Structure 1
């Protein structure tokens, strides 16, 4: 398996130094300066945009201590890099409406771009994953340039060898905008495998740490985790929670993606009265422990292409409250309590029901892992295999 990065590793960098620069850049955003117009570097970049960019090998020799990045590195046979690839591709597409071509030695039969990018790999069948159409269906919930996003997805629909998506809901949304791609859209869903977590303990060993670090009692707090952005419906969730008659605090784990005055107002109220606690980041074992220890996970999102937090909670047998929007009914099946994402009173009633109904929580806790098994890694790999075979 080849993995292509777009780090600022100069083509003049000695081979033995590429590995060093690679790991030095792995935790940083690309901030390299763009060449000044009409300089030699600028002309070289424009030529590469036209004739194609050649990826350079980043040999991983083991001389750099990389164990700290083990959780972030995908499985790979080769690491390749094209300097400033993703910014260059976006700029090229904005100016020309064309995809940037990348060339690598001995290209694979299939290049699977796991995000919609204006790039194609020469000599390979190019597949693009489109997780959802939130920027087009709920344009007020994202900061994407809607004109650029629409043109990019339209171009992918026209020339991709296949489009991968992650739910039947997303497949329907894609076809509602781009019906001509119907015979090339494949739904593989997503997966979650808790057995691969560090320590293989599902977070159980961290439960005492949760009590010690955060003063939380197992089964006595509600949990929301994920990116804090408008489509997550956090404003209504916090408002509904503050109206609910419950003594269990609401713990929110996630960084603010972009701010909404409504969400901030209710969040500030909850933080001030101590009923809401916010944690911006947690290591994976601690987050998994929080999920396992929660009374329930609350996730009444306005739209989800898949809804991985719901699957993660189901896998651990944690009761889930969610909405019927997007792919959430597909993922949760009969193993969740559903509420109306747009109705605060419905969310409040759902929270109170989840808090008081012990039998409901037991039933959902037992059915969660059974529902999660529908999306286990074996089934996911089989769906991927069928898609790749169809493309070849």
Structure 2
């Protein structure tokens, strides 16, 4: 009988709600609790997690300042007899760790895309620590083949050390069938089913919204009046030019952050989902849109072709004419929209958080030896 392995997880970001790394680690912990009853887990977080976890999961609350928290976590994991550490959202814990580490890497945007500039703390951390952490880690989980390729190309990390574990989505709310409450969400936002374009994500240069808005502006006035462009998401860095571009087109509506509970209805009922990003480590919003049966327009770069497959239209993200032409096709060709919606839903079922968590679990057990 195989003996139990004690596993430490840096869950400091698991208390963050919404998308991104916070959602990633919350879903990994949730799914590990469902599928693994043989090993013991120590979850480190800044405050109690709002997750139902099994009896083999121990929660440890850590305080202190950034940097010192990671040092304390790394040392405490060793003191508690943990044989391996999962570092899902940062790199400093990996640097400090004295036990084997499985490092998650989400993207390398700051190394590949000039338009990607995170907060100064994150920028410094990734610039100086990412390469060292990846070379020190026993194993690496990358969220896409594109990210794996970037790690090999930029840092010389052996491909044999990197596993690709795609992200997933919650299959209960994100589906293509009409749901109770859809009409209320549309009414709240003054929208009609199939009569709007939709984007959700951070408002920042990397998402390429300025070009998307310019492409939309080139459409005939009657088309824009019928299909407003709804842009949802919080303001990121250097958002000013995007907001200015939106202000110059009355049919572009910046609606700010949208509650997670409203997203499935907005995805499900849009004419098309527009996501022409310049770079993504994975691309969770288009996956969620596809799961809801939305026709997707996205970019032919980085990880997006992996995620979208033939479930959407892919264009060169710097080609405004190509973006505009693709939007026009989606607004005028009902057969195309219906076909893409069906293909999108079929493609989306290939992604599941349980698969992600199981892949991470296998890496942790391999790293623990």
For the aligned pair, the TM-score class normalised by the smaller chain equals 0.7 to 0.9
Aligned to 2:209: 234
Q: Is the 2:105–2:142 contact (alpha carbons within 8 Å) kept by the matching residues of 1?
A: yes
Aligned to 1:353: 329
Aligned pair partner of 1:265 in 233, 236, 244 = 244
Aligned to 1:255: 234
Shift of 1:83: 1.5
Note the residue ranges of structure 2 that are not aligned, 5 or more in a row: 1-6, 18-42
Does 1:136 pair with 2:111?
Answer: yes
Does 1:168 pair with 2:141?
Answer: no
Shift of 1:377: 3.6
C-alpha change, 1:87 and 1:242, in structure 2 (3 Å) is: farther
Shift of 1:355: 0.6
- The one of the two structures with greater contact order (alpha-carbon pairs below 8 A, sep at least 6) is 2
Aligned to 1:110: 84
Alignment of 1:283-294 (within 5 A): 283-294=259-270
Aligned pair partner of 1:310 in 286, 289, 299 = 286
Alignment of 1:173-184 (within 5 A): 173-184=150-161
Calculate the TM-score normalised by the size of structure 1: 0.74
Aligned to 2:315: 339
Aligned to 2:32: none
C-alpha change, 1:248 and 1:139, in structure 2 (3 Å) is: same
Aligned pair partner of 1:126 in 101, 121, 126 = 101
Aligned to 1:192: 169
Q: Is the 1:228–1:256 contact (alpha carbons within 8 Å) kept by the matching residues of 2?
A: yes
Aligned to 2:63: 83
Paired residues in the alignment total 327
Shift of 1:180: 3.6
Shift of 1:5: 5.8
Aligned to 1:223: 198
The runs of 4+ residues in structure 1 deviating greater than 6 Å are 55-60, 200-203
Q: Deviations over 1:186-234 (max 9, x none)?
A: 111111122167xx99782221112321210011011000111211111
Shift of 1:107: 4.2
CA distance in 2, matches of 1:329, 1:78: 39
Q: Is the 1:112–1:126 contact (alpha carbons within 8 Å) kept by the matching residues of 2?
A: yes
Q: Is the 2:11–2:45 contact (alpha carbons within 8 Å) kept by the matching residues of 1?
A: no
Q: Is the 1:306–1:327 contact (alpha carbons within 8 Å) kept by the matching residues of 2?
A: yes
CA distance in 1, matches of 2:322, 2:109: 23
Q: Is the 1:6–1:84 contact (alpha carbons within 8 Å) kept by the matching residues of 2?
A: no
Aligned pair partner of 1:150 in 110, 122, 127 = 127
CA distance in 2, matches of 1:106, 1:336: 48
Highest Rg: 1 or 2?
1
Q: Is the 1:102–1:119 contact (alpha carbons within 8 Å) kept by the matching residues of 2?
A: no
C-alpha change, 1:109 and 1:214, in structure 2 (3 Å) is: same
Q: Secondary structure at the match of 1:128?
A: strand
Q: Deviations over 1:117-166 (max 9, x none)?
A: 20147564311111111011113421455564222012112211112111
Q: Is the 1:157–1:181 contact (alpha carbons within 8 Å) kept by the matching residues of 2?
A: no
CA distance in 2, matches of 1:231, 1:78: 38
